[in-house]
Amino acid sequence: MEKTLGELAALVGGELRGPADLKIRGLAPVDRATPEDLTFIAHPRFARLGEATQAGAVIVSPQWADLDKPLIVVDQPYLAYARVAALFAPARPRWTGVSDQAYLGRDVHLGRDVSVAPLVFLGDGVSLGDRVTLMPGCYIGPDTVIGDDTYLAPNVTVLERCRVGARVLIHSGAVIGADGFGFIPTPEGQMKIPQLGSVVVEDDVEIGANVTIDRGAMGETLIGRGVKIDNLVQVAHNVTLGDHTVMAAQAGVAGSTQIGQWVALGGQAGLVGHIEVGDRTQIGAQSGVTASVPPDQVLLGSPAWPIKETRRIWAGWHTLPELYRRVRKMEQQLSQLTTLLERKAET
């Protein structure tokens, strides 16, 4: 792939400062770019590296526009970089057509130009939209529906009766639609509560490697439009993730919790079941959320409190030993004072 700097400036709607016909063949970090690469400076931390970069050209914000290099000047360099990167990104691997070494059940519906690799298993009644890609090792359970342009990386499992939307990307090892975790202790042992529901994944969702999303006990577990889920995340039965919400790696949400739109959950954060989290709320890494949260909050800690309060608490821990010394010292002083006063009283 080769593009001119002028083409790339036009693509990102940026101001070109340099030769429009400069050839760009790739993207690279500022400290590793070659003269054929475009790079970008989005953070002041990397600004000084801009002076020394070998890159052929640099995407910068107006504040760095005095750099002595061919430039594309934009308000949001990171966004512009992402657009250029999408252009240079190699196509994902894809089998051409339907392999005769894939296993197709009865009554399978295949859209136009689907890609079904060897070692794929489709249960009875599966429906694939147009241009769906199923890489090797994928299992699609009976009566599951997969929307147009959705891509399943190798070794993804989507169990029976689930619905996956269009333009969804599911990474390897993810398991969609395993049983929710529901048992009632009885004298004879844990009695299983059958998990009769399903999982609905809406359009434009991305699901990370080795993520688990359980089917509802009754009804559905719902992953809203545009949600992005990082690796090793757990989403329990009957959870709802609102549109455009993001979950960082190893976070987990317990059963029936309803999460709003544009929420951000940090890595290793955990939410108990049966609560609600309002739109746009942010939960810090390793936080533990044990009660419902209104919209537009920023929470941190385990248990989670508003971030300012948690920061104050953490600062407090730090000086706890000193506090003990001060209290002990005061107790002594107070005791001495009391003794002194008692003596005085006697005299």
> By CB under 8 A, is residue 52 in contact with a copy of itself?
no
Would you say 208 and 231 are in contact if contact means Cβ atoms under 8 Å apart?
Answer: yes
> By CB under 8 A, is residue 236 in contact with a copy of itself?
yes
Would you say 223 and 243 are in contact if contact means Cβ atoms under 8 Å apart?
Answer: no
> By CB under 8 A, is residue 192 in contact with a copy of itself?
yes
> By CB under 8 A, is residue 4 in contact with a copy of itself?
no
> By CB under 8 A, is residue 2 in contact with a copy of itself?
no
The closest of 203, 195, 243 to 219, measured between CA atoms, is: 195
What minimum distance in Å lies between the beta carbon of 215 and a copy of itself?
11
Q: For residues 178 and 298, which CB has a smaller minimum distance to a copy of itself in the complex?
A: 178
Q: Which of residues 97-126 bind a copy of itself (CB under 8 A)?
A: 101, 103, 117-119, 121, 123
> By CB under 8 A, is residue 129 in contact with a copy of itself?
no
> By CB under 8 A, is residue 294 in contact with a copy of itself?
no
> By CB under 8 A, is residue 331 in contact with a copy of itself?
yes
Q: For residues 106 and 112, which CB has a smaller minimum distance to a copy of itself in the complex?
A: 106
- 62, 296, 323, 339: which one contacts a copy of itself (CB under 8 A)? 323
Q: For 187, phi and psi rounded to 5 degrees?
A: -60, -25
> By CB under 8 A, is residue 193 in contact with a copy of itself?
yes
Instruction: Please give the positions annotated as active site.
Output: 237
What minimum distance in Å lies between the beta carbon of 118 and a copy of itself?
5
Residues touching a copy of itself, count (CB under 8 A): 112
Q: For residues 149 and 214, which CB has a smaller minimum distance to a copy of itself in the complex?
A: 214
Q: Count other Cβ atoms within 10 Å, centred on residue 105.
A: 15
> By CB under 8 A, is residue 46 in contact with a copy of itself?
no
Quick one: DSSP state of residue 42?
-
Residue type, 83: R
Would you say 227 and 205 are in contact if contact means Cβ atoms under 8 Å apart?
Answer: yes
What minimum distance in Å lies between the beta carbon of 10 and a copy of itself?
19
CA 199/CA 145 separation, integer angstroms = 11
Q: For 311, phi and psi rounded to 5 degrees?
A: -60, -40
Left, alpha or beta for 275 (phi > 0: left; psi -120 to 50: alpha)?
A: beta
> By CB under 8 A, is residue 296 in contact with a copy of itself?
no
> By CB under 8 A, is residue 246 in contact with a copy of itself?
yes
Q: For residues 65 and 196, which CB has a smaller minimum distance to a copy of itself in the complex?
A: 196
Token reading at 143: 């009566």
> By CB under 8 A, is residue 318 in contact with a copy of itself?
yes
Where b means 16+ CB within 10 Å and e means fewer, 30-64 reads beebeebbbbbbbeeebbeebeebebbbbbbbeeb
> By CB under 8 A, is residue 48 in contact with a copy of itself?
no
The closest of 78, 84, 114 to 99, measured between CA atoms, is: 114
Token reading at 83: 């657009």
Spell out, one character per residue from 165 to 184, where the chain touches a copy of itself: x when CB under 8 A holds, - when not.
----x-xxx-x--xx-x-xx
Q: For residues 4 and 231, which CB has a smaller minimum distance to a copy of itself in the complex?
A: 231
Where b means 16+ CB within 10 Å and e means fewer, 213-231 reads bbbbbeebbbbbbbbbbbb
Q: For residues 48 and 312, which CB has a smaller minimum distance to a copy of itself in the complex?
A: 312
